[in-house]
Amino acid sequence: MSSEAREAVLSAAGEIFGRFGFKKASVEDIARLAGIGKGTVYLHFESKEALFEAVLRQSLTQDAAELLRLVDRAETPEAKLKAFFEGKVARSLQVANWGLLSAEHALEMAKAGKRVVDEFQAQDIDLVTSILKAGRDAGAFHATDLKMISHGILDLIQGSTGKILADDATYDAKRPLDAIFELILRGLAARPTSR
């Protein structure tokens, strides 16, 4: 399959998975939308699961590259952390506000793509941890368990995204998340008190 045909399959698969979720999406519908036969899809993707993982990997790779560009443009550890936080929140809000996924489809697809999602989440945790370490080394942050803080920041963003998907896109997550980010920043900047 040419790279052009592969991109057509991945694009069609992304649209079909987004519309119907993982379980209800069919390889037949994907092939039809891509303008190829079902057998051609299976020549290049061993299963619907493998195709889904390829779509998810492509999307998450693009998101990760954009997030890294945002972080790299920032100059201080505080600005880098804010760029990461705002980039992740913006992408989550974008998905929710575009109505790209229902809560049911998001949960189903998170389960189907767990291996890929876990891989990218580990990259996010490593990125946040490296930002926190650079901030600590520069004297801007005073924290010890950087990995735990990184997990907490990602859990906070994911929890807010879940609320948007579960309720509806009218939940204004940006304002409370901005307030929480400021609280996190103040906490990281605070010097530990001796007891």
What are the domain boundaries of the chain? 1-45, 54-189
**Regarding the domain with residue range 54-189, which homologous superfamily does it belong to in the CATH classification?**
Tetracycline Repressor, domain 2 (1.10.357.10)
Concatenated DSSP letters of 88-125: HHHHHHHHHHTT---HHHHHHHHHHTHHHHHHHHHHHH
Query: What homologous superfamily does CATH list for 1-45?
Result: Homeodomain-like (1.10.10.60)
Q: Report the candidate in 114, 54, 125 with the shortest Cα–Cα distance to residue 88.
A: 125
Model's pTM, two decimal places? 0.82
Binned average pLDDT, 10 residues per bin, the chain of 195 residues:
83 89 92 92 91 92 95 96 90 59 63 86 96 95 93 86 60 75 86 65
| Tokens of residue 119, six digits | 């891989």
Q: How far, in whole angstroms, is CA 81 from its chain's centroid?
A: 16
What Å distances lie between residue 88 and 60, 85, 147, CA to CA?
Answer: 11, 5, 18
- Same topology, domains 1-45 and 54-189? Answer is no
Nearest to 125 by CA among 90, 146, 151: 151
